[in-house]
């Protein structure tokens, strides 16, 4: 009988190393006063952790639950709903979201995504081996006026062409980070 370990991760009751630093804890606690209860801090807490660690590991879920005085299952339930947060390993230094919704697709967005996959050598959902770039597809980035478009961390890359992708990859190679000037 092939049994499957819990989808939520490998078993193991050994106490893990804490992952929330005091800075992160303080960052999360700063949200407490905004809401009448702590449950509402769950999503902001994920963002805090994600910004620091590049992902939200299982141990963070448990620590957030402790901090918010909630059952860990409820915290994890919420986390898994949002595909945004990687759970297994940190995202790359640059996380690239290529829009695949209708306006971008109609202007060649899928081909742009394929080209990026080809150039980076990874598929959507994956990270390059050197940890530099994570690639994902996004659903409608709300940048249809600049279709096809992609977000690289906080920067919107507009009116993409293969040449622009090449230029983008060059800025990554140079600075290790996407530059706001490169649009």
Partner 1 sequence: MPEYEPVLLANLGKEGIETLEGYEAHGGYRTLRRVLKEHSPAEVAAMVRASGLRGRGGAGFLTGLKWSFLPENHPGPRYLCVNADESEPGTFSNRVLMEGDPHQVIEGTILSCYATRSSTAYIYLRYEYPLSFRRLQAAIDECYAAGLLGKNILGHDFSLDMYIHRGAAAYVCGEETGLIESLEGKRAWPRIKPPFPAVEGLFRKPTVVNNVETLACVKHILDRGVDWFRSIGVPPKPNDPRDPGSLGPKLYCVSGHVNRPGCYEGPLGLPCREVIERFGGGVWKNRKAKAAVPGGLSTGLLAAEELDTPLDFDGPVRAGCLGLGTAGVIVFDETYSMIDFLHNSCRFFAHESCGQCTPCREGTHWALSMVERIKAGRGRLKDLDLLLEIADSIGITPGTTICGLADGAAWPIKTAIGKFRAEFEDFIRRTNPQGYMATEPVPALVENAAQAPASGPRSSKGKSESFAANS
Partner 2 sequence: MPTALIDGRELQFGEDERLNGIEAARRLGIEIPHYCWHPGLSVVGSCRMCLVEVGMRDPKTGQITMLPRLAPACNTPVRDGVVLVTDSEKVQRARAMVEEDLLLRHPIDCPICDKAGECRLQDYHFQYGQDQRRADIRPFTSRRRDVGDEITLFVDRCIMCSRCVRFCREISGTSELLVVHRGTHEEIDVLPQFPLKNKLSGNVVDLCPVGALCDKDFLYRQRVWYLKSHPGVCTGCAMGCSTWIDENQDRVWRIRPRENHLVNRWWICNDGRYDYPHVHSDQRLLCPRQRVGGRWIDRDWSGLVPELDERFRRAGRVGVVLSPFLTVEEAYLLATYARRVDPEAAVILGHLPVVGQDERFPGGFTIAAEKCPNRRGVEAIVARWMGRAAAWDVFLNELPSLGIRGLWVTGGYKRPWIEASVAERLAGLELLVVQDLFASPLSERADYVLPAAAFPERDGSYVNRHDHLQSVRWAIRPPRGVRPEGSVFWELLGRPGLYDAQKTLSDVAAEIGYFHVAAGPIPEVGVNLKVNLLA
Kindly identify the residues of this chain, within the stretch 47-66, that bind partner 2 according to CB under 8 A. Answer: 58, 61-62
Consecutive H or E run containing 135 = strand 133-138
CB 72 to partner 2: min, Å:
5
Alpha-carbon distance 64 to 54, whole Å?
A: 16
Of 76, 68, 137, 73, which Cα lies nearest the Cα of 109? 137
Which among partner 2, partner 1, none contacts residue 96 (Cβ within 5 to 8 A by kind)? none
- Interface with partner 1 (CB under 8 A), residue from 71, 83, 121, 176: 83
151 binds, among partner 1, partner 2, none (CB under 5 to 8 A by kind): partner 1
Look at residue 72 and give the partner it binds from partner 1, partner 2, none, a contact being a CB closer than 5 to 8 Å depending on partner kind. Answer: partner 2
| Minimum CB distance to partner 1, residue 12 (Å) | 18
> 3-state DSSP call for residue 76?
helix
Question: Which strands form 133-138's sheet, in the order they lie side by side?
Answer: 133-138, 94-99, 150-152, 155-157
Nearer CB in complex with partner 1: 85/168: 85
Rounded CA separation 81/85 (Å): 9
CB 42 within 8 A of CB 2: no
Q: Which of residues 115-144 bind partner 1 (CB under 8 A)?
A: 124-125, 136, 138-144
Binding to partner 1 by residue 156, rule CB under 8 A? yes
Cα–Cα dist 103/109, whole Å: 8
Nearer to partner 2, 86 or 93 (CB): 86
With binding defined as CB under 8 A, does residue 175 bind partner 2?
A: no
Short-list 17, 16, 19, CA closest to 53: 19
Contact residues for partner 2, defined by CB under 8 A: 1-13, 58, 61-62, 71-74, 76-77, 80-83
């Amino acid at each position: 009988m092939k049994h499957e370990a819990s989808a939520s991760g490998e078993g193991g009751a050994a106490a893990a190393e804490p992952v929330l630093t005091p800075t992160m804890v303080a960052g999360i606690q700063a949200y407490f006063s905004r809401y009448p209860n702590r449950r509402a801090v769950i999503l902001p807490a994920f963002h805090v952790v994600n910004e620091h660690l590049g992902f939200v590991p299982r141990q963070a879920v448990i620590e957030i639950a402790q901090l918010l005085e909630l059952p860990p299952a409820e915290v994890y339930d919420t986390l898994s709903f949002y595909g945004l947060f990687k759970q297994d390993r940190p995202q790359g230094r640059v996380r690239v979201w290529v829009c695949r919704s209708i306006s971008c697709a109609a202007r060649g967005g899928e081909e742009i995504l394929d080209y990026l996959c080809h150039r980076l050598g990874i598929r959507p959902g994956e990270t390059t081996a050197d940890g530099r770039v994570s690639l994902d597809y996004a659903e409608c980035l709300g940048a249809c006026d600049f279709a096809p478009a992609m977000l690289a961390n906080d920067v919107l890359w507009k009116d993409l062409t293969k040449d622009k992708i090449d230029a983008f990859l060059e800025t990554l190679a140079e600075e290790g980070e996407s530059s706001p000037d490169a649009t």
